[in-house]
Chain A
Amino acid sequence: MDLDARYLLCPMPVIRVSSVIGRMAAGDTLTVHCTDPGALHDIPAWCRLEGHEVVETRTEPSGDIVIVIRAGG
């Protein structure tokens, strides 16, 4: 599943992620697209607290940040 959180500022990307991931099954992956550099800290921090796994973080040539999350149980 993909989530477009571009142009949203902290903490909205986290709030959107928490809303979407709450409806996903354990093991499913969510690919989040962001532009706020704060997401690089906040989304992994939130995942650590909630037991989800960040499996990939990358920055696209466009500057967009992509974070791939595997939902925890």
Chain B
Amino acid sequence: MENRKRQAIVLLSGGLDSLLAARLMLDQGIHVEGINFFTGFCVEGHTHAIRRDRKDRAVRNNALHSAEQLGIRLHMIDVIDDYKDVVLNPRHGYGAHLNPCLDCKAFMVGRARSWLEEHGFDFIVTGEVLGQRPMSQRRDTFPVVARESGALDRLVRPLSARLLPPTLPEREGWVDRERLLGLSGRNRKPQIALARAYGFDYAQPAGGCCFLTDENYAHKLRDLWASRGARRYDFDDIMLLKIGRHLRPHPSFKLIIGREEGENRFLEGYRHRFAHLWATEHKGPLVLLQGDANETNLDLACAITARFGQGRSKARVRVAVGEPGGLTRERDVTPLPAHALAAEWYL
């Protein structure tokens, strides 16, 4: 029998489960490398890094942090464009919000399978736990992921393996099934105990989460599609949905209002693309206007911009209006009174 060192690619999300799954493979002498797919919807890092008032959050990518603790390479791959079809046309539908979890898992394992074939690796490892997630981590959906991804029995789930049929690496003796685990359910105490035993530092028990599972984010994405009359998005769209307050005072336009300095700075990067507003003589937000920047809408947008700045109690506030990447005009406006800021405008 060929006795070369077997190679596994681990889907490393940055969460605890995939960290442990990778470690269990390393413990068996497998050569392990990590792979991490960036869909554009990953909660990872983004808003935490931007908002300077979120000092309690570690400003780091958790998948990279996992790889460093494991001492393995990490391949970070941009799948933003290919992932659109998963979001827009999930064969298995959505979860509670716009989360296509089962299609997503099959997509990611499928991409890992392509990588595996390209690089001559032997099998794929995930941190999935039987019964932990309602859509993609069930006894009846595990085979769906294996089949639709094309990974078939080269997909090993070390945390629940003892509860599942033996995979090719187990049958061939590349992996010792007896040294894999039989975890199931949503109770994460065993994983937390194992992490402690290994001395792992991890961000949160269920890392690598996705904005599509977030009710508020899904609402904003649906609003975006409704305003366009089409279910489509680009990278900037989905980034901007994570940032700032989103108000739609009229069907023809939306405002994105920076909540603090870090967000204002991030929004500055979009001044070339959208009309943008800011108070010139008072501290306050940078505001992007998406949609029809006609004079009526700009009047209201200026009043709202003044409302969210420190000049809100003044009789008049000077607000600058920048055209996308071009001219800037200034106008004096009355800040919108608090009572006029309609609750239904907030997305």
Contact = CB atoms under 8 A, between A and B. Distances in A.
Contacts of A38: 45, 48-49, 59-61
Interface in B42-88: 42, 44-46, 48-50, 59-61, 63-65, 67-68, 72-74, 76-78
Interface string A30-69: 0000011110111001101110000000000001000000
A37 B59 contact: yes
B49 A49 contact: no
Contacts of B38: 11-12, 15
A10 to B, nearest CB: 3
A35 B269 contact: yes
B238 to A, nearest CB: 11
Contact of A14 (B50, B68, B76): B76
Contacts of A18: 76
A34 to B, nearest CB: 10
A42 B268 CA distance: 23
Contacts of A9: 45-46, 49-50, 239, 266
Interface residues of B, number: 29
Contacts of A37: 49, 59
B61 A63 contact: no
B283 interface: no
A46 B64 contact: yes
A71 B76 CA distance: 18
Interface string B258-270: 0000000110111
Identify the interface centre among B44, B45, B265: most chain A CB within 10 Å of its CB: B45
Given A6-B269, A11-B42, A41-B64, 12 more contacts: A9-B45, A10-B49, A10-B61, A14-B61, A14-B64, A14-B76, A15-B78, A37-B59, A38-B61, A42-B45, A42-B61, A49-B68
Interface of A: 6-7, 9-12, 14-15, 18, 35-38, 40-42, 45-46, 48-50, 63
Interface of B: 36, 38, 42, 44-46, 48-50, 59-61, 63-65, 67-68, 72-74, 76-78, 239, 265-266, 268-270
